[in-house]
Amino acid sequence: MRTIRVETSAATILLTEAPEPKVRDRQTGEIAKDAVTGEALMTVGVVYIEDGESSLVKVTVPESGVTEGLILGSPVSLPGLVARPWESVFNGQQRHGIAFRAAAVTPAAFPAAHGATG
């Protein structure tokens, strides 16, 4: 399925949920693995702010891409962020959405305010 690269240079991204293992099967507790590398996957919650609009988003990141020093409420960077549309049928109901995945989640700096003087 097609992935769409997400341009984040004009956005502020804040960490809202600490990294936790992505669960593949809620009944068994099986942790999701990358289909190619077999590496365990993690999810992080972020608020994505751009052009005065914000969205709460869950992003999947490989376990090795979770960087030390992440602090809730602080800005983060999501290098290699892509969006992938998905759809499935569950209990006879069709569901669809957009899945987000990044190569890593790393601490970032707040963007400089426009017109700020130093």
Higher pLDDT, 60 or 25: 60
The overall average pLDDT reported for the chain is: 90
- Residue 83 CA to its chain's centroid (Å): 9
Higher pLDDT, 1 or 60: 60
- pTM here is 0.85
**pLDDT tens-digit profile of 74-100?**
999 999 999 999 998 888 899 899 999
Cα–Cα distances (Å) from 86 to 3, 65, 99, 113, 117, in that order, read 10, 23, 7, 36, 45
> Nearest Cα to 20, choosing from 56, 44, 36?
44
* Residue indicated by tokens 């914000």: 54
